[in-house]
Structure 1
């Protein structure tokens, strides 16, 4: 069976959801069974070019009471849809991916996409003063509606999307009517407005337009009768009088005063475009390489899903300022607006429902039309944003699970996200790590904060302050704020204050610029085992930490220690560094994080248990070093080889293999750690096998226990 008008989109396939669900391939309607197949297809269409999980499809089809065979029935539905499409000549439309299904839909192959594009063209023409051209585009868009969207489907997930598009149609129709009234088409619109008022008797905006059209058509009595009928309807149904605007229009008609047609204004349309970006940082400094990369990513043309660009780094490193600055630079790429949310992931993460509700309202969705559950909110959000060019800035995300429902539909929008988590599980995300400022940029920032003349008088002290701040913009800003209040204070004296580790973090905190709180926020989200290891490792004066060191201190296997280290690195509490040539990883602390961890270690760790861990480390290291030297020169080492201590056996065979078969390489990569480890072993030998429990027992230089 042939169908009517199909937009010229360059493809043979076209889907309609603005009315009964319909699929057209090669200008012929595809016959589909009118059962759960339509619900599956409708959900895939409302999430076009996005993976929809099997669980969400099951919820949409059966709600809270799915049959035990639900998975297989959904597979059968998808198979039948594919078969019907392929029989009609449409291949490869539905893909299986990541535990769900994806409907691959080129732009312009869905009537909602065509509607939005035509509506935007109409607004552009109205803004340019071409009212006739604007009406033509609006009416072309509205003609795509063939009844209530997907009215034949009984599914809450689909009904939420249908309600949105019904409201969207009315909103666009009202814009069109205002333009036509401004053009003087009062008499031509009376019949259409009467039908609309009869259909939506409680919609006062439509009633006001009908009254205006009648009055300007010299039908004053009819206009007053429309008001009286509307007031009676409102009182009987809601117990309310008409709104103030309608009452004022009524009084003007009674008095015979002039009534003007609604005037389409540029501001009216611009207000529908969200502009939620925070203010740009006035003294933003440096980051030229990061900005060039972000500019390229934000302006890149993509196909497929929504691009997700993620900036990763520890608290205080300047991720948010960088993201906001880059977003302002790229505004012209996203003419449909910018959405922003502080997700508070490092402190008390916001629920996605709260964020989505705000986004939907910013995009013009009435609060009463916003679903209460997350799944339907996310579906509605993706449907509304499909085909738009929006920039969504999600600051301080806790995890992929928090941002997944907040991703817009289509590939024209982009998501820029910042997080202290690695976000490694986010599919398709492009990630960049943000580190501290380089010295030159950091000095320029300090100059902006306290004055270039003051910095130029003490250049060495300025660089020393930067180093003691760990090159973190937040710490530098706190230092600058503190120095700003001490205009006669020499920078050299401030360096002396910062050199004292007990005072440093306090000196780098000023008002809301709380360096310590920002850096350690992630520590409160660690598991107990991760937290104990993070605190214990901070007391070691090692240039780098290997997995075997962490395993020894934790008293566990190397594999388990590696998982704990992965968690610490994921939370930006330790850094992965280069230099491990045996296939493992090396780690180190940011200097400010080491200070903060040590302060907490003094308060939280048991002294006797900590000393036991250090003694284990001394025993394990002494045996490993001896084993490595014997492997290199079996006949040159004095004495007989000893059996490995329990700690070595617990760590695992990988370590034994390294020190036996790669002894020279193992010793070379541990060489920076050897002085402190040997001092630790010497202190262990001098104390003997008995372990005192006093917190004041002797330890290698540089270590302290409260």
Structure 2
């Protein structure tokens, strides 16, 4: 392959090996902020050519898999130098913790030997810069661990030749300076050790206006005074703290959890996969049962994660919890004394990664918002992370996301039966089906309906169905106590921009099974491209869904029935009595051949009757 976009696509796949890379992420990696209109087609072509290139070289045909919304490259741990490097580092740390420093030193050297020049040297752009910076820092941290072990073993003279060129190139890396000062001083080269400190101090003052850290100053004073210096302790920060426990923070399983068998199997399979930390996200609007599903999956995998399970409710759409506070709880769960927990987010995240480096943990992060500084909560080693969120989290690199919608009818009926009794549902199956339809098949609304019916044992399902059919404020009838579907939706809606919110209200008034792009453009106050962005925002927030059927007039968008009911109630209150007529007129006046948001022709059909909630036009 030449230095072209194929190489960039391959790099993006390899950087996220064994994880789905969304097509949008590949487009960003290749074209940055200015992709062509045919970008997705060109990505398909790149993947096709990569498959052919690997097949011609003797590789497996299914090396690059097509997944929902993206692609995944399947690799064993030893197939990628980055994976092999991390495995060697984990082994070196385990040997260090066991006190076998000679073997640990050899394993560190084996890990460092994987570095053969700058990563992604043939590719330019933001992807390369970020990766190069990450692996440069990773190399230094491992190199410094190896040098500490060498000093502990008394190899001072040998290490001077390794350290001198590094310190000359990076005079502000204090740990390297301290290691060189120690090696020189222990080799009876005191004057040179003091010169290293002076050069480092001058560099820091010139570039940062700061004096060296207290630790480096204390080492300098000891060398000046001719005091003995103990060899640096080998870094074993990942060892358990005294009194450390195996955390088991997952909440109890929902007693009447129902269905989701296929999705549950896919989630647990992804979380069990080997290699670097896996991140799986469950995304859907409020009330779809994401939290119950995540907890159910986590508890089912307890045996696979013997070092514990951590849980945090980030409250991303109500009262967000700062990651620094979450890390404090995680570190406390591992027995880290309060006075040893660093103050800053970066320092806490680094300590958390060190502690989890040799562990196999499952971390469940509930209600993650797009604005959450999520990366700070990622562990290292062979742990896995399961997130839930009301917005899509696909912007996070290397994440596998599953959309969680309403339950299938059979599973929805099973849930209702578990709440009100099998006999009651069996006696009025048709009414039970209508109830779950009114609930939009959403577990939270079904639970609320079940709670109301359980409180009214003499109320028939048919009379409750009639009540739901005649209530304009249906969502209020399907809310009780904490089972408040309206409140869940409101917290999501409040995150929308005003134009997206207005479009959502207007679309809810169109009594069509699915809304084509041209109709959305007609009722919007925005030009076509802006309308497409607003539709994307509504899909991202799971307030609309893109239908699976391919229509000749382009993508179509649909509402969950209960979500549409809520939007219509808001529209009636906020848009006024004439809003329905305005929507009808906008649709009727859309000219034949009008271009929709995606450039697909679509038009109002004069032979078709269009019904808008509260208004009818022929």
| C-alpha distance 606-362 of structure 1, shift in aligned 2 (>3 A) | same
| 1:344 Cα deviation after fit | 1.0
Equivalent residue, structure 2, for 1:496: 466
| C-alpha distance 430-583 of structure 1, shift in aligned 2 (>3 A) | farther
- Tell me, in whole angstroms, the C-alpha distance in 2 between the residues paired with 1:24 and 1:544: 65
Equivalent residue, structure 1, for 2:531: 561
Aligned match of 1:366 in 334, 337, 344? 337
Deviations 1:441-494 (A, max 9, x none): 211211111111111211111111111111111111111110111011111100
Contact 1:95 1:102 in 2 (8 A): no
Equivalent residue, structure 2, for 1:506: 476
- Tell me, in whole angstroms, the C-alpha distance in 1 between the residues paired with 2:417 and 2:528: 47
SS of the aligned residue for 1:483 comes to: helix
1:19-418 paired onto structure 2 within 5 Å: 90-92=114-116, 95=119, 97=127, 99-100=130-131, 101-103=133-135, 152=178, 272-301=245-274, 303=275, 305-399=276-370, 401-410=372-381, 412-418=382-388
| 1:699 Cα deviation after fit | 3.0
Contact 1:497 1:503 in 2 (8 A): no
| 1:318 Cα deviation after fit | 0.8
Q: Quick check: 1:537 aligned with 2:496? A: no
Q: Which runs of 5+ in 1 are unaligned?
A: 1-8, 31-47, 49-84, 116-139, 176-267, 628-647, 660-666, 681-695
Equivalent residue, structure 2, for 1:654: 599
- Tell me, in whole angstroms, the C-alpha distance in 1 between the residues paired with 2:90 and 2:234: 28
TM value normalised by structure 2? 0.64
| C-alpha distance 491-462 of structure 1, shift in aligned 2 (>3 A) | same
| 1:324 Cα deviation after fit | 0.4
1:298-697 paired onto structure 2 within 5 Å: 298-301=271-274, 303=275, 305-399=276-370, 401-410=372-381, 412-582=382-552, 584-605=554-575, 611-620=581-590, 623-624=591-592, 648=594, 654-655=599-600, 658=601, 675-677=608-610
SS of the aligned residue for 2:615 comes to: coil
Contact 2:538 2:544 in 1 (8 A): yes
- Tell me, in whole angstroms, the C-alpha distance in 2 between the residues paired with 1:323 and 1:145: 50
- Tell me, in whole angstroms, the C-alpha distance in 2 between the residues paired with 1:588 and 1:163: 61
| C-alpha distance 701-505 of structure 1, shift in aligned 2 (>3 A) | farther
| C-alpha distance 583-551 of structure 1, shift in aligned 2 (>3 A) | closer
| C-alpha distance 149-484 of structure 1, shift in aligned 2 (>3 A) | farther
| C-alpha distance 401-497 of structure 1, shift in aligned 2 (>3 A) | same
Deviations 1:562-597 (A, max 9, x none): 000000010011111023344832101111111111
RMSD: 4.4
Deviations 1:495-537 (A, max 9, x none): 0011124142121111111011113321000011111111111
- Tell me, in whole angstroms, the C-alpha distance in 2 between the residues paired with 1:598 and 1:510: 21
- Tell me, in whole angstroms, the C-alpha distance in 2 between the residues paired with 1:341 and 1:518: 19
Equivalent residue, structure 1, for 2:192: none
Deviations 1:636-684 (A, max 9, x none): xxxxxxxxxxxx58x67934xx35xxxxxxx7xx88x97343x67xxxx
| 1:29 Cα deviation after fit | 10
- Tell me, in whole angstroms, the C-alpha distance in 2 between the residues paired with 1:157 and 1:443: 66
- Tell me, in whole angstroms, the C-alpha distance in 1 between the residues paired with 2:235 and 2:536: 46
Deviations 1:51-96 (A, max 9, x none): xxxxxxxxxxxxxxxxxxxxxxxxxxxxxxxxxx6xxx54348635
Contact 1:17 1:111 in 2 (8 A): no
Number of aligned residues? 451
SS of the aligned residue for 1:567 comes to: helix
Q: Which runs of 5+ in 2 are unaligned?
A: 1-86, 121-126, 157-173, 180-211, 218-231
Contact 2:352 2:379 in 1 (8 A): yes
SS of the aligned residue for 2:310 comes to: strand
Equivalent residue, structure 2, for 1:120: none
Contact 2:505 2:570 in 1 (8 A): yes
Deviations 1:579-616 (A, max 9, x none): 33448321011111111111111222255576445423
| 1:350 Cα deviation after fit | 1.7
- Tell me, in whole angstroms, the C-alpha distance in 2 between the residues paired with 1:583 and 1:309: 34
| 1:375 Cα deviation after fit | 2.1
Equivalent residue, structure 2, for 1:68: none
- Tell me, in whole angstroms, the C-alpha distance in 2 between the residues paired with 1:320 and 1:11: 35
Contact 2:271 2:279 in 1 (8 A): no
- Tell me, in whole angstroms, the C-alpha distance in 1 between the residues paired with 2:476 and 2:377: 37
| C-alpha distance 490-150 of structure 1, shift in aligned 2 (>3 A) | farther
| 1:314 Cα deviation after fit | 1.3
| C-alpha distance 502-606 of structure 1, shift in aligned 2 (>3 A) | closer
| C-alpha distance 27-275 of structure 1, shift in aligned 2 (>3 A) | closer
- Tell me, in whole angstroms, the C-alpha distance in 2 between the residues paired with 1:156 and 1:611: 73
TM value normalised by structure 1? 0.56
| C-alpha distance 433-13 of structure 1, shift in aligned 2 (>3 A) | closer
